Structure 1
Amino acid sequence: MAVVFVTGATGFIGKEVTKRLARDGHTVLALIRSLDKWNELLMQMTLAERSNCTAVRGDLRQAGLGLSTSDYEQVLRANVMIHAGVPMDISMDESVGREVILQGASHLIAVANELHEQKRLQKLIHIVGYMSPFDDESGKLATDVFSQNDLFREAGGYEKYKFLADLYLRQEAHQKGLPLVVVNPSTIIGPRSTGNTEQTDGLGLVISSMRRGKFPVLPGGKEWWLPLLAVDDLAEVIVGIVEAKQIEHQTYYALNERSTTPSFSELISLMAKELRMKPPAIPFPVSVLKKILHNGGSRLLGVPANSMDFIVKKDFPLAPFQQMKARKGIGDYQAVAYLPSVIANLDYRLSVKDQKVPLHIHREQIAGMAAYKKEGAGTPWLLLHGLFSEMSDLLPLAAQLGGYAVWLLDLPGFGRSPYHHHDKPIEGIIEAVADALREMPSPVHVVGHSFGGYLALEAAKRVPEKVEKLYLLQPPLHAPKYSPLLAGVGNNAAILQRFLQKGASPARLEKTLLAQGVFQSMEEMPIGYAEKVGKLLQSPRISKTHTDVLRYFMNDFQQMALEQPLPFPAQVVWGTQDKTYQLTKEAEAAFTKANVGIKRLSAAHHFPISHPQLTGNVLQQMRNGKA
């Protein structure tokens, strides 16, 4: 097994590489600056994997990598080095790029040279990018990368110094016989399992422009494409290079084949579909678009000028990459099948930034929907959120559900889950929840809040064998009474969506939420809740989905349908301070006939969010037959 020194171990690429190295039994020495990020990464591993990982505090910008004497001695145990320690920021200032990227490479190569002199270094793996113009012969060039030169004058600081660092390491390898391997990945997107894409500078730049209505043209020509690669596929190939007995190639172009990747015009149309927007209709040559951006048009489209440089016509020499994929058992990546989750995730990230999630919560995917999972024992809980909400809002409730496993779903078109594209909007959401139940390995305790309660009931009736017990928290029993303003704009779908996108300011949302009895007071409302809802509704995808649901309840919904009896035990928890819905005698009688118990709380509509501890206690009592 190798001892691998990794820079950028907590970055988007680096942490996936670190996890897979540790999983395969290699020893990882990680250069880190943030202990918090390192601890977050460790929490994603098993105990055995963690035992293979050690962090050393340092900084690429400093000589000796800023390491203490003892940490430097640890690094000199390594026989493989992986340099992935450059943050992706295509708008990076040139002075920052020179210090972090190029000077950082010089500090790293000093360590590599020392390992090489000790005859320990088996491989130095440098992660660069598919747009680098350098190849296996470039190490012979005499260019002084540290002096003033005319190379890459049109490029930004990030791209320029990534390329110069590539040339520099190739020169050093050529002169001193270093065992260098360069990996040139394309635009990196989230893993196949979730699509969770942390870097918003790549594909996210185009999505950001589109959702703000600043991308009105459809770039023409099927010959233009944006090469893509899933981060887990890249990590597997890098681990394969680490494990290879000898260096077979110096340069690996890491990207999916053109045949499995949509053209750029097809990609734009797919983005529009997933964002629930009309696709751009004005055809426009990509070459002209690039020139416009480099001549002051970047503000017009809302993307940096060099962001379009990653769209190419050419093909790449993929044989080394494909050989390593085959060796690692990596199948073809049909991008169109995975991109909906990637686009939804990036759309969410562009709305809500810097959201902290407890370290013991893991990202998953169920039936194509984004999910969180809290590990635990016993029959799991499955939590479904309501309108003006997403799965993160129920994390405090999940923490109150004891030692049981808990699943939280983002409903289709909400949060990080892609829309279902069913002809009937509500039917599509119900069937998606039913599919999630079908994928559960065993029956679960299903908890639905508000609109999620309606979905939970309807989906549970389709898959009763997967429902241990059903809990409806403030379900919509009848057609709601909306405020005059919301009822008025709700007559027209386009006007309602525009109102949600443009008119849902935090102050207006807070006022409406209090007036409707969603919360009893401002003190009950989680800090930043209204601001987050407002930002999410700026997404065309999320505001359009809310529009569909609101109009359904305004125009088509009458009351919840209860079968007699339900084929599984069920309970209702009702907040008596709700001003939108009423638990009438008729509704209560229907529940009684269906053998559904009712528990009343002196709380408002959003009590699972405002009172997670109280709600968790009640749910556990019901689960144990004590309420």
Structure 2
Amino acid sequence: MSPYGQRNEQGGYLQVDHVGDQESAYEEMKFHADLLIREHAEEHNYPLSVVNPSTVVGPRPTGETEQTGGIGLLIQAIQKRLMPVVPGGSSYWLPLVENDIVARTLVFLSKEADPAGGTYPLLARKEDSPNMKELLHLLAHELDVPKPKGAVPLPWIQWAMKSGGTRLTGVPAESVAFITNRSFPVEETEALFTRMGQSWPDIREQLPLVTADLDYRLRYTPLPEEVPADYIRSRSGNMAMIGWEGEGEPWIIVHGLLQSADEMLPLGEQLWKETGNPVWLMDLAGFGRSPVHQVDEAFEGQVGTLLKALDEFEGPVKLVGHSIGAAIVAAAQLRSGRTDIRLGLLQPVANNSNPNVLRWISRLPRGVMRSLLRLRSEKSWERMFSVYISGEDKKGMDHMIAKRIRSSLQSPRIAGANADLLRWIHSGKRGRVSSFSWMKEWADDHTNHTLVVWGKEDREYHYPQDMNSQVKRIDVPYGHYFPTFQYKETAAILAEWADTLK
């Protein structure tokens, strides 16, 4: 926003009018710093390259955006359904740039042998970027909330926020401070990118991942300190994933209901230590940091998203799923037609639920079920998970897990993804691939590469009656969430199974 990248007709710098309020004073101080360094460069005759980033978001491939200001403030407002209209309308926009683009630009300029200097605003042309209407519709779709209707002049919204709206909503006035109707001179930036040998990326490709990451981060409750911190974040297809690199066949692990890849970290680390193989934990579509899928039918959308992610893994893999994740990985394996996928099913869930209250709830409209999930108290979740933990494993984990579930379900996106799969499980509208009856027809060489681990203490689901009897089955004396709480035993079983496949 600094005006000092441009000159007036006399060749001098444009002047900034002083504005008395604190926010403008802060911005004005940054402008004066820009002017000071420019004047110093001219006085001492050294080349100066000034890089002015627009609103910065996370890099490719993950979109991980640690700074929750900027677009995060806008996402927070939409997440809370406090942005029912488009600020300013279609003539306004929010310039965005990924932080890896900023880093790459700085590195290139710092290494130029004969720098010419210049001013480089890091943003696309206004006409090539999503306007505010398109941007908010995209964000609303990803956050699973109604799209804003109509437009309101930006000064009205700024006035409303400063007149008590911020105090009432908890969303700061700065959430609209980055929105502008200006166009910026980008000719020097485009020439720089030509020298760098790259073109400006379309931010639309990255926005779904940025949105999911910020949505999750804004609702994030940190895991206990003993959870590993040396994992890396990556992405496959359109699925966010975390894990560890290693040697040999990779493990791909897909979580179940009410969870994300983060809850599988203890299992993943233990498996990585025992095998030395790469281990990747995937977020299902709409869960954790993965964007929502683009298919109306919940199960089909999840299977399709996983198939695209699997396409990026060449060669044999060990594909493991828990709960509904087990049904998704099984269906994806069948659809893929690949014979190099070894299948591990932990407490598989499809058409094998026991009669309980969820069957009744699943018949309610989607919005009602989603609201019931969001309104369920932390104490209620804690009581539910306390039965899965005992002895030394307890250590407040039931409280921590309950807090994380309650927190994450305040995201309409995550609550909606859980509601959709719960409704699929309990509605009875399942196709051939979504149950396990197809496994009866599998050849022996397939069943020999499949393992089912079943917790006998599960009260919500029974062992799938249509599972192929030749599939190797190991029973453990635990409940439904044993991969989360009895992760050492689970990792040992999986590692031993892997040894038999060699």
CA contact (8 A) 1:217 1:283 kept: yes
> Secondary structure in 1 aligned to 2:424?
helix
2:177 matches 1:309: yes
Alpha carbons of 1:388 and 1:269: their partners in 2 closer, same or farther (altered >3 Å)?
same
Other structure's SS at 1:440 match: coil
Kept in 2: contact 1:236–1:328 (CA 8 A): no
In structure 1, distance between residues paired with 2:221 and 2:53: 26
Structure 1 residue 137: Cα displacement = 5.5
C-alpha deviation, 1:305, in angstroms: 2.2
Report which stretch shifted further, 262-271 or 177-186: 177-186
Distance 1:359 1:301, change over 3 A: closer
Q: Higher mean Cα deviation, 543-552 or 356-365?
A: 356-365
The change in CA–CA distance for 1:550 and 1:477 in structure 2 (over 3 A counts) is closer
- The equivalent residue for 1:614 is 489
Partner of 2:252: 382
Segment of structure 1 superposing worse, 544-553 or 155-164: 155-164
Aligned to 1:186: 54
Residues 435-454 of structure 1 correspond to what in structure 2 (within 5 A)? Answer: 435-454=308-327
Q: 1:168 to 1:303 in 2, by over 3 A?
A: farther
Number of the residue aligned with 2:344:
471
Query: Do the aligned partners of 1:207 and 1:271 also contact (CA within 8 Å) in 2?
Result: yes
Alpha-carbon distance, 1:534 to partner? 0.9
Tell me how far 1:153 sits from its aligned partner: 3.2
TM-superposed deviation, 1:221: 3.0
Distance 1:408 1:158, change over 3 A: farther
Q: Partner of 1:373 in structure 2?
A: 243
Q: Which amino acid aligns with 2:405?
A: V
Matches within 5 A, 1:78-97: none
Q: Superposed, which structure 2 residues align to 1:46-195 within 5 Å?
A: 131-135=1-5, 150-151=18-19, 153=21, 155=23, 158-195=26-63
What TM-score, normalized to structure 2?
0.89
Aligned to 2:66: 198
Q: Is the contact made by 1:140 and 1:174 (CA closer than 8 Å) also made in structure 2?
A: no
Secondary structure of 1:245's aligned partner: coil
Report the alpha carbon displacement of residue 405 of structure 1 after superposing the two structures with TM: 0.7
Following the alignment from structure 2 to structure 1, what is the Cα–Cα distance between the partners of residues 165 and 207? Answer: 28
Please tell me the residue identity of whatever aligns with 1:335. I
Q: For the Cα contact (< 8 Å) 1:473–1:573, is it kept in 2?
A: yes
Separation of aligned partners in 1, 2:496 and 2:80 = 47
- Residue in 2 aligned with 1:338? 206
Q: Give the Cα–Cα distance (whole angstroms) in 1 for the partners of residues 35 and 228 of structure 2.
A: 41
Please say if 1:600 is aligned against 2:475: yes
Once the two structures are superposed, what CA deviation does each residue of 1:535-572 show, in whole Å capped at 9, x if it has no partner? 11000101011111111111125753333225632110
Report how far residue 423 of structure 1 moved.
Answer: 2.1
RMSD over aligned CA atoms reads 2.8
Unaligned runs of 5+ in 1: 1-130
- 2:421 is the counterpart of 1:546: no
Structure with more relative contact order (C-alpha pairs < 8 Å, separation 6 or more): 2
Normalised by the length of structure 1, the TM-score is: 0.72
Which residue among 234, 238, 253 is the counterpart of 2:121? 253
Residues 475-530 of structure 1 deviation map (CA, whole Å, 9 limit, x = unaligned) = 115342365377347523221111111x222211112335xx65568828466111
Structure 1 pair 353/578, CA: closer, same or farther in 2 (3 Å)? Answer: closer
Partner of 2:406: 534
1:623 alignment counterpart: 498
Instruction: Quote the residue 1:412 is aligned against.
Output: 285
Match for 1:562: what amino acid? W
1:220 and 1:161 map into 2 onto residues whose CA distance is: 27
**3-state SS of the aligned residue for 2:496?**
helix
The CA distance in 2 between the partners of 1:304 and 1:157, in whole Å, is: 17
Question: Helix, strand or coil for the counterpart of 1:400?
Answer: helix
Q: Residue 626 and residue 432 in structure 1: after superposition, are their counterparts in 2 closer, same or farther (change >3 A)?
A: closer
- Of 77, 80, 87, which aligns to 1:212? 80
Helix, strand or coil at the partner of 1:470: strand
Letter in 1 for 2:125: E
Q: Would the aligned equivalents of 1:214 and 1:300 in 2 still touch at CA under 8 Å?
A: no
1:577 partner amino acid = E
Match of 1:561 in 2: 437
Distance in 1 separating the partners of 2:61 and 2:331:
27
Structure-1 separation of matches of 2:90 and 2:205:
19
Question: 2:350, 2:359 → 1: CA distance?
Answer: 19
Change over 3 Å in CA distance of 1:348–1:171 after alignment to 2? same
2:394 counterpart of 1:523: yes
Question: Per the alignment, do residues 360 and 485 of structure 1 end up closer, same or farther by CA in structure 2, a change over 3 Å counting?
Answer: closer
Per the TM alignment, residue 440 of structure 1 is displaced from its structure 2 partner at its CA by: 0.8
Match of 2:3, SS state, is: coil
Alignment-derived partner of residue 361 in structure 1: 231
Does the aligned pair in 1 maintain the 2:333–2:341 contact within 8 Å?
no
Paired AA for residue 245 in structure 2 = E
The amino acid that maps onto 1:230 is: E
* One-letter amino acid matched to 2:457: Q
CA distance in 2, matches of 1:330, 1:291: 41
Distance verdict in 2 for CA 1:626–1:380, change over 3 Å: closer
d(CA) in 2 for partners of 1:349, 1:163 = 31
- Residue of structure 2 equivalent to 1:512: 384
2:373 to 475, 478, 500: 500
**Would you say the 8 A contact 1:298–1:305 is kept in 2?**
yes
2:340, 2:25 → 1: CA distance?
Answer: 55
Residue in structure 2 matched with residue 230 of structure 1 by the alignment: 98
Is 2:461 the partner of 1:591? no
Q: What SS does structure 2 have at the residue aligned with 1:314?
A: coil
Q: Is the 8 A contact 2:238 2:308 kept in 1?
A: no
Q: What does the per-residue CA deviation read over 1:448-490, in whole Å, with 9 as the maximum and x for residues that have no partner?
A: 0111101111101111426431110011153423653773475
How far apart, in 2, do the equivalents of 1:441 and 1:419 lie? 25
Q: Report the Cα offset of residue 395 of structure 1.
A: 1.2
Distance 1:621 1:527 in 2: 32
Q: Distance in 1 between matches of 2:305 and 2:216?
A: 19
Counterpart contact for 1:434–1:463, Cα < 8 Å: yes
Structure 2 unmatched ranges of 5 or more? none
Task: Say whether the 8 Å CA contact 1:237–1:321 is kept in structure 2.
Answer: no
Q: Whole-Å Cα distance in 2 between the matches of residues 242 and 272 of structure 1?
A: 39
Q: Which amino acid aligns with 1:613?
A: K
Deviations 1:74-125 (A, max 9, x none): xxxxxxxxxxxxxxxxxxxxxxxxxxxxxxxxxxxxxxxxxxxxxxxxxxxx
- CA drift at 1:393: 1.1
What is the percent sequence identity of the aligned residues?
33
**After the TM superposition, which of the residue ranges 351-360 and 314-323 deviates more from structure 2?**
351-360
Verify the 8 A CA contact 1:570 1:596 in the aligned structure 2: yes
Would the aligned equivalents of 1:276 and 1:544 in 2 still touch at CA under 8 Å? Answer: yes
Letter in 2 for 1:609: T
Partner of residue 432 from structure 1, selected from 305, 308, 313: 305
Structure 1 CA distance for aligned equivalents of residues 474 and 427 of structure 2: 29
Q: String of CA shifts for 1:251-283, please: whole Å, max 9, x gaps.
A: 211112223310012111111011111112242
**How many residues are matched?**
485
Q: 1:246 Cα deviation (Å)?
A: 3.1
- Paired with 2:492 and 2:423, the residues of 1 have a C-alpha distance of 34
CA shift in 2, pair 1:606/1:535, >3 Å: same
| Cα displacement (A) at 1:140 | 7.3
